[in-house]
Structure 1
């Protein structure tokens, strides 16, 4: 089993900019969560020889990314 790599969270300023709708900041947050999204969107696929492969379900991946963007834009920071 692979060891999980520690990834740094985006900075507070990046998160704040993403909440305000900055496209570059949203892309940075999406790229941070991309490994998790890819792992959750795996589907089993059998080829013509009966071998099993795991492929990324692109439709599910886009839905998760869209849901994340929606939640980022709806998020409120309470001080």
Structure 2
């Protein structure tokens, strides 16, 4: 994701209406951010620390995000 890159409003509206392609675009746009949020410290037998992505947590976050997208309401004033 480039700095200051934004999703077009039309894509967001389409995603909230259930368009599968738009939903995939939104999910792909935030995939790196979600992955970074799901990093966890893992200690090996020598006490060394490495960062790993918790796949189960990422899956739960993606499901919650998808639910939020589909229940998001856009109010046009």
TM-score by shorter chain over 0.5:
yes
Separation in structure 2 between the aligned mates of residue 39 and residue 63 of structure 1, nearest angstrom: 14
Does residue 1:50 correspond to 2:44, yes or no?
no
Query: What's 1:16 paired with?
Result: 13
Separation in structure 2 between the aligned mates of residue 7 and residue 69 of structure 1, nearest angstrom: 23
Alpha-carbon offset, residue 49 of structure 1: 2.9
Separation in structure 2 between the aligned mates of residue 46 and residue 23 of structure 1, nearest angstrom: 39
Aligned to 2:30, what secondary structure does the other structure show? helix
Query: What's 1:38 paired with?
Result: 35
Query: Gapped runs of 5+ residues in structure 2?
Result: none
User: In angstroms, what is the RMSD of aligned CA positions?
Assistant: 1.6
Separation in structure 2 between the aligned mates of residue 9 and residue 70 of structure 1, nearest angstrom: 21
Normalised by the length of structure 1, the TM-score is 0.86
Does residue 1:65 correspond to 2:58, yes or no?
no
